[in-house]
Amino acid sequence: MLIQGQNYKTVWMEGNIIKLINQPLLPHRFEITEVHNYEEVYLAIKTMVVRGAPAIGATAAYGVAQAVYDFQGPLKALKHHLAKVNKRIASSRPTAQDLFHGIANVTNSTINSKTVKEAKKKAVEAAEEYANNSVEECKKIGEHGSKLIKNNFKILTHCNAGALATVDYGTALAPIRIAHYNSKKIFIYVDETRPRLQGARLTSFELGEENIPHAIIADNAAGYYMRQKEIDICIVGADRIAANGDVANKIGTYEKAVLAKENDIPFYVAAPLSTFDLNCSSGNKIPIEERDQSEVLFSIGWNDNGDFNKVRISPENSKAKNPAFDITPARYITGIITPKGIINANKQGIRKLFCVERL
């Protein structure tokens, strides 16, 4: 992704150090955070220094590789060490399937090594391959999805499913990027996405860095623009896709899908293969993360002195509920944009995608 005229990935590894774009500081300050051990990996995911399902998956993969790379001990102790590392990283956030996919990918590539030296080599290679594959999948999502975008289309997106939510390119923003690179005239309506404002802070930041025309809108304004025929297509990302096509994504996605259906607007979900959970029969089985109520009760902003301020926007005695995700039933989804093409959001489409006989 372009930031200040230079290309960056969201997460990468140099030696035994994991490097991340520090996302809570954006758009006001651009900093690279260094992560030195699996406990710091856990905290980076938990506190959303890194967020977005594919980016979390790649960070988790690097976290396992880092733990193996730094391991000092006999081979027989490595399996126990990996189990401890994996359990800790996996506990950071419960909803995104990519987190568990990244952990399993590196662990399975490493666990049968004959020596510790071999395990270290395999772990790092597996993590790099995982991250590189993620980039390639997102690029292909962009290529397939851009065919849905016609010249002069106005597009609604929700939360941040851009390069910052992946290793590069993004999921929902990948088709938008490719359409822009192909000189299509487009305009993006960016849901602010309360309470953490990933749309207002991050999606708008990415679009601005690449000079893609856009406007931030209040979450409650999407229905207004749909009814005014100002939106031609909706494209969102996903944190987990169940075997029946139900989708878990950032809170507020469900109501946008219902509004799109009511207004006869195509509603697409963009996701890599790692986001599908074939062992999850429906959205009812997906665990929904409940985050700290302070994210709703307070807001964080950038003041004129160049400092971040946290201010309360609610009565002192009020409490809040803060589900981070909701479930969009498959019947509201026009299609799922994958690296292998656009599929129907149902068991048949997913079976065909993964070449399996039953789910």
Q: Tens digit of pLDDT for each residue in 101-142?
A: 999 999 999 999 999 999 999 999 999 999 999 999 999 999
**Is 63 inside a domain boundary?**
yes
Same domain (yes/no): 251, 131: no
**Is 301 inside a domain boundary?**
yes
Look up residue 317 and give its DSSP letter: T
Report the alpha-carbon distance of residue 95 to residue 98 in Å, rounded: 9
Give the CATH number of the domain where residue 330 resides: 3.40.50.10470
Can you say whether the dihedral through the CA atoms of 196, 200, 206, 209 is positive or negative?
Answer: negative
Same domain (yes/no): 65, 212: no
Report the alpha-carbon distance of residue 142 to residue 136 in Å, rounded: 10
Report the alpha-carbon distance of residue 155 to residue 179 in Å, rounded: 12
Number of domains the chain contains? 2
User: Which tokens hold the place of 20?
Assistant: 């991340």
Report the alpha-carbon distance of residue 343 to residue 139 in Å, rounded: 17
Same domain (yes/no): 243, 286: yes
In this prediction, residue 297 carries a pLDDT of 97
Nearest by Cα to 105 from 71, 43, 62: 62
Of 120, 140, 160, which residue is a domain's last? 140
Same domain (yes/no): 88, 122: yes
Most confident of the following: 85-89, 306-310, 352-356: 85-89
**Is 359 inside a domain boundary?**
no
Same domain (yes/no): 55, 167: no
Kindly tell me if the per-residue pLDDT of 349 is higher than 90: yes
Q: Is 90 exposed, middle or buried (0-12, 13-18, 19+ CB in 10 A)?
A: middle
In this prediction, residue 327 carries a pLDDT of 98
In this prediction, residue 240 carries a pLDDT of 97
Report the alpha-carbon distance of residue 214 to residue 258 in Å, rounded: 23
Percent of the chain whose predicted confidence (pLDDT) is above 90: 95
Of 83, 107, 140, which residue is a domain's last? 140
pLDDT digits (tens, 9 = 90+) for 150-207: 999 999 999 999 999 999 999 999 999 999 999 999 999 999 999 999 999 999 999 9
In this prediction, residue 71 carries a pLDDT of 96
**Is 167 inside a domain boundary?**
yes
Give the CATH number of the domain where residue 45 resides: 1.20.120.420
**Is 148 inside a domain boundary?**
yes
Kindly tell me if the per-residue pLDDT of 11 is higher than 80: yes
In this prediction, residue 305 carries a pLDDT of 80
Kindly tell me if the per-residue pLDDT of 358 is higher than 80: no
Same domain (yes/no): 135, 169: no
H-run or E-run covering 329: none
Same domain (yes/no): 45, 153: no
Same domain (yes/no): 12, 41: yes
- State mean pLDDT over 74-96: 95
Alpha helices in the chain (DSSP H): 38-46, 53-69, 75-90, 97-110, 116-145, 173-181, 198, 204-209, 222-227, 253-262, 294-297, 347-354
Same domain (yes/no): 121, 245: no
Which residues are identified as catalytic? 239
**Is 298 inside a domain boundary?**
yes
**Is 156 inside a domain boundary?**
yes
Query: Quick one: how far is CA 326 from the chain centroid?
Result: 14
pLDDT digits (tens, 9 = 90+) for 319-338: 999 999 999 999 999 999 99
Of 140, 158, 189, which residue is a domain's last? 140
Report the alpha-carbon distance of residue 269 to residue 216 in Å, rounded: 20
**Where residue 269 falls among pLDDT bands split at 50, 70, 90?**
very high
Average pLDDT, the chain: 96
Task: Collect all residues with Cβ–Cβ distance below 8 Å to 344 and sequence separation of at least 6.
Answer: 245, 335, 336
In this prediction, residue 173 carries a pLDDT of 98
Same domain (yes/no): 93, 192: no
* Domain enclosing residue 134, as ranges: 2-140
Same domain (yes/no): 11, 158: no
**Is 68 inside a domain boundary?**
yes
**Contacts by residues 296-305 (CB-CB < 8 Å, ≥ 24 positions apart):** 296/194, 296/195, 296/320, 296/321, 296/322, 299/195, 300/24, 302/28
Same domain (yes/no): 167, 282: yes
More confident position, 121 or 308 = 121
